[in-house]
Amino acid sequence: MMAALQVAGGVCRCPPRLLPAGRQQRRQAAVPPARAVASGATTTVEEEEGKVRLGESSVAVTKLGIGAWSWGDTTYWNDSEWDDKRVLSLSLSERRLKEAQAAFDASIDNGMTFFDTAEVYGTALMGAVNSESLLGGFIKERQQKEQIEVAVATKFAALPWRFGRGSVLSALKKSLDRLGLSSVELYQLHWPGIWGNEGYLDGLADAYEQGLVKAVGVSNYNEKRLRDAHARLKKRGVPLAANQVNYSLIYRTPELNGVKAACDELGITLIAYSPIAQGVLTGKYTPEKPPTGPRANTYTPDFLTKLQPLMNRIKEIGASYGKSPTQVSLNWLTCQGNVVPIPGAKNASQAMEFAGALGWSLTGEEVEELRTLAREIKGIKMPIEES
């Protein structure tokens, strides 16, 4: 039975938690994913079939997707404890491969069948294995055992030497070869082109019309670029299905720069990457034990000290639901409406934990309390969306 939920201005219209017999009653009933439909300045969200429709396209995906950035990567995530140290007889690369495949299988087993990758994830120039190739291999191997439905999203890299619509089709066909697929559910422009985006958008429309992709999207687009892309594709009769941007409880720029409101107004799904702030919202990092590698430059001991009041409250709320900080942080995003988070799963246990963010909901009061606490935290800057 379909239900409707009104979302306006990025605020979750979740019902308050009931208080029978003097105790708070947890709201654990399953909350089916939603389809966003443009309706004036707000978005009407229709619950259907346990999936969320990407914008006004024909593609429906699970309410929580899985990001495959770390699969094959040897630069940004190379010190991220990705390998399974229990498999001591295998090389590091073999252990990482087994962990990535286990993450894929666990995602499928737990009902998360939407996977996001990109041609630049795991570049061969750095001696890595391409993420698209790994994902394609995982899909093929799993399908040899059983019939599965998987929705794949990948991205075009707007490199300075790539010009015009033809470059999009050329890159897409190479991505399809690596994936071993004849088409993908979603093809996105990974970031704005420095020479303009008109040709790239025309290339997306060409790919859509040729049946190579079922839906098209952009990534890291600010409000103006998003509206321009929507208008240009609309002239071709092609819906702009998604804008993939950095969005988490502690990085809420899409709420502040007009991107979230524009997505809701235009009927464009917001796909949230780094939804747990690259692991920081899991609670495993502290001022005494900050992350290593490139993340250490952003999530410093000083930043993590300021984060502690928010993390303490996340843990308290999570305990009342029997949920982890990771699951609370992901659920907070789904409560915003018209948002599909895509946390990166490096192993099976992470994928299984992500699945625990579904099937329940924070109350509206909890959503706003966490937002208020998060406003006190400063220091994260991701300038790509504001350039």
Q: Contact, 278 vs 76, CB < 8 A?
A: no
Instruction: Specify which residues 269 forms β-bridges with.
Output: 242
Contacts of 105 (CB under 8 A, 6+ apart): 138, 142, 348
CB atoms within 10 A of CB 345: 27
Query: Within 10 Å of residue 134's Cβ, how many Cβ atoms?
Result: 24
The structure tokens 């390998």 sit at 83
CA 362 from chain center: how many Å? 19
Q: Which residues are catalytic?
A: 121
277, 263 contact by CB (below 8 A): no
Is the distance from CB of 113 to CB of 164 less than 8 angstroms? no
Instruction: Tell me how far apart the alpha carbons of residues 254 and 235 are, in angstroms, rounded to a whole number.
Output: 26
Q: Helix, strand or coil for residue 371?
A: helix
Give the residue among 282, 328, 333 at the shortest CA–CA distance from 304. Answer: 282
Separation of alpha carbons 157 and 189, rounded Å: 7
Rounded distance between C-alpha atoms, residue 337 and residue 35, angstroms? 9
β 42-47/34-39 pair status? antiparallel
11: which DSSP letter? Answer: B
Strand partners, 116: 67, 153
Torsion-angle region of 115 (φ positive above 0: left; ψ -120 to 50: alpha; else: beta): beta
